[in-house]
Chain A
Amino acid sequence: NAGVMQNPRHLVRRRGQEARLRCSPVKGHSHVYWYRQLPEEGLKFMVYLQKENIIDESGMPKERFSAEFPKEGPSILRIQQVVRGDSAAYFCASSRQGGDTEAFFGQGTRLTVV
């Protein structure tokens, strides 16, 4: 009974490269959320997706960031042309339904931009 799986756990990218972060939700969960956490700071909401739909992307930067959750396969958070300020921990959470159901987190991807 696997939980939320994120990979890679650690990712190092040079400035200007692309970063792809993957999230496989708990089996049976169709809702995925992405959060960013800077050192010593709280969790900042980025985007909420259902299968094949973006429900709320109000926390996503307007440029360079995109997310998808296809019908088959994991959810992907993509950051193009990374900059040093993108260095952070990116967490994915999943829930069975949206709204008031409990969400469970993956182990996160630590992105370092050098």
Chain B
Amino acid sequence: QKEVEQNSGPLSVPEGAIASLNCTYSDRGSQSFFWYRQYSGKSPELIMSIYSNGDKEDGRFTAQLNKASQYVSLLIRDSQPSDSATYLCAVIGSGNTGKLIFGQGTTLQVKP
């Protein structure tokens, strides 16, 4: 079982729609969760961090965390073509050496 799992996609949504990206993790003791965006040929860019159960909103982005289900999601409202990228879920496990473990990423395509 992979430590952090994401559906590789591609996930295709029309412009203006809500994109929903999902991530599951195997280490039940994990405490810190992050979403990064990576455009093709570029480096990962931090979008959101979340540490507590529930929702965290920042502009058009909402991160959701459910530790009981070991599930993290990212919602992008009013999706734009410029949101087309690969979205990486990252988790710091309970062993807490501070190692960030990444999922494979989900490719999002927003169609005009």
**A interface residue count range (under 10 / 10 to 19 / 20 to 34 / 35 or more):** 20 to 34
- CB within 8 Å for A100 and B31 given contacts A33-B100, A43-B88, A48-B97: yes
- Considering the chains assembled together, what is the distance between the CA atoms of A100 and B93 in angstroms? 9
- Which A residues are in CB contact (< 8 Å) with B101? 45
Q: Interface readout for A96-113 with B: 1 if CB under 8 Å, 0 if not? A: 001110111111100000
Chain B, interface size: which category?
20 to 34
A22 at the interface (CB under 8 A from B): no
Contact flags B33-59 to A (C-beta < 8 A → 1, else 0): 010100000111110010100000000
Say whether A93 faces chain B, with CB atoms less than 8 Å apart: yes
Per the bound structure, the CA–CA distance linking A93 and B44 in Å amounts to: 9
Instruction: Decide if the interface of chain A is mainly helix, strand, loop or mixed.
Output: strand
Chain A residues contacting B99 (CB-CB under 8 Å) are 33, 45, 48, 56, 58
A36 to chain B, nearest CB (A): 11
Enumerate chain B residues within 8 angstroms of A102, measured Cβ to Cβ: 34, 46, 49
- Besides A43-B44, A93-B44, 16 other A-B contacts (C-beta < 8 A): A42-B102, A43-B88, A45-B99, A45-B100, A48-B97, A56-B99, A58-B99, A91-B43, A93-B100, A98-B98, A99-B98, A100-B32, A102-B34, A103-B34, A105-B45, A107-B42
Q: Which are the 3 A-B pairs with shortest beta-carbon distances?
A: A98-B98, A100-B32, A56-B97
Name B's A-contacting residues (CB within 8 A).
Answer: 31-32, 34, 36, 42-46, 49, 51, 88, 92, 96-105
